[in-house]
Chains A and B, each alone.
Chain A
């Protein structure tokens, strides 16, 4: 078995578009190679028979009644940090975040 070519250049190009990443050509080739190498390891797990009734959990440790924190009241709490948080933004105008044009896209 040689390292898989499961992620082809076409699939890779699609993933990059979805991920909103601009890559240098050399970097892209390295990343695609690494992804395929990782898939070889992943196949070791993907190929085993697992009872489809095996439960899926959102994390390893169960949260039984009592260990689960009570939901807090859904109450608005004003933050005193608004200015400090806004000051982190690369570009603002009168407390609005400034972004470039968002062109019309036809989602068909």
Chain B
């Protein structure tokens, strides 16, 4: 398959649309052709029967909003025709993770309980992207309520496939976002990152994933999972596009009291400044994995995959050659507690947020006759929720119960403070490390096969081991493509920064991109595109 309009960067697309060189409607047509070629059957919440062919295609979109997109694209073209500026994202195809409300679209959160919910308003980051000229192509698949790391727990199946090998997961929970952007089914995607849900799929799919600082982007219109950790986040094919889109969605919002009143810098202005003189840290605590053995429950420790270690080391070396100072041995001693603390904090918040689904105000109501209200609740929630929400509700209630909360919930909140302290000390300008950023792997492994991990909720959660600390700390993180493993699967490199230091991590990411631009692995394209174009 040859490169088409849908393969352009967001920056180039918008520039050429604004200049009248290409029409937004032509870009949309190109994206729709790509979707037609590689998407396969649409995921559905009605009785999934797996077919062998399902493992050959992407299945990213729960809902395609084609007519709405066509109207948006025509509006952009009309603005250009009248000599008006449609905005910095003019005509850029956007895929929205189906956990954001988008006015007049089904907004399902990947759950049967919201399968028929039509959003009466748009989430703030969606509204800002559309206001900037982006064209929303559709709503993409995810783990149910973002509960997972593979997108397999969605009620809408088949699950999305990884464009580099569709028999493997694209990661999660923003798996549809990463798959769609990697395969040219969208140029940008708005996802969310609560434990790594944008960075991990970006790593698995060989694209850029940016989780901003907690509070940098409004959560208004985002269907809540864990309110103290949830962060709207971006998937793009390049760092410049991520920077461009962040500038559009960031900033205070009267609808969200946690959207920080911190000025939004011009993220593109400092992007090409290079890394000379920057202090970039490596921490041994990000190169080992401590996890409970599924059979015995015993804690085991092992290194992360050697090819991933090698890729991060190589990246550090390249950045050093470009003038960065690499600081080895940065102590991040609480990293290993990130998942256990997350098992508690996120569950308590999820349980609280999921109480609103009751079969009364909106969403699924069980159809069988009932005699009293509690029975309606039990039947509606029993039918409407999949396994993952049920697990989260039950665990959340257990660890916050009066007799256990001191050992679990309160302890986890204290451990979160310890994780936060690791970051504060690493970035402290008067501290021992004085880092501008920390360089780590994004994930302990590359993309695994569909079905290989799903069902083991502990092992699945450990996929977020290296991303979740930044969610506890609230700090920003960026995942960048860093080559491939022996099986041809993408490896992700993570750049972690201080509070509101998105400009810094984007600048380092852009430097990495420029330094490696001519390397052969940069020319590789997802296998699904090669096969579809054969």
Contact = CB atoms under 8 A, between A and B. Distances in A.
Given A21-B385, A35-B398, A101-B373, A66 B261 contact: yes
Interface in A9-25: 11-12, 15-16, 18-23
A38 B378 CA distance: 24
Nearest to A66: B261
B360 A38 contact: no
Contact of A45 (B296, B341, B365): B341
Contact of B410 (A56, A89, A100): A56
A70 B254 CA distance: 9
B415 A45 contact: yes
A99 interface: yes
Nearest to A34: B457
A89 B456 CA distance: 35
Which of A7, A16, A66 is packed against the most chain B CB atoms within 10 Å?
A: A16
Given A15-B394, A23-B382, A44-B292, A1 B228 contact: no
B257 interface: yes
A93 B194 CA distance: 39
B417 A54 contact: yes
Contacts of B365: 90-91
B394 A31 contact: yes
Given A42-B408, A50-B414, A57-B413, A100 B371 contact: yes
Interface string B340-367: 1101100000010000001111111100
Contacts of B257: 69, 71
Interface stretch (B75-83, B444-452, B467-475): B467-475
Nearest to A44: B340
Interface residues of A, number: 63
A102 B372 contact: yes
Interface stretch (B113-121, B182-190, B281-289, B515-523): B113-121
B370 A100 contact: yes
A52 B297 CA distance: 28
Interface string B386-413: 0100110111011100000001101111
Interface string A35-79: 101101111111010111011111111110011111110000000
A37 B297 contact: yes
A38 B377 CA distance: 26
Given A70-B261, A90-B365, A22 B372 contact: no
26 contacts: A1-B298, A3-B296, A15-B394, A18-B397, A19-B390, A21-B390, A21-B393, A23-B390, A31-B387, A37-B292, A38-B391, A42-B343, A42-B344, A43-B340, A44-B299, A50-B414, A50-B418, A59-B214, A60-B471, A63-B215, A67-B215, A68-B260, A69-B259, A90-B362, A101-B373, A102-B372
Given A46-B408, A88-B118, 15 more contacts: A19-B394, A30-B387, A35-B391, A38-B395, A38-B457, A38-B458, A41-B291, A48-B415, A68-B261, A70-B261, A81-B121, A88-B117, A88-B362, A89-B362, A99-B360
The 10 lowest CB-CB distance pairs between A and B, nearest first, are A60-B474, A61-B474, A22-B382, A45-B340, A90-B365, A88-B362, A3-B297, A22-B378, A20-B377, A40-B297
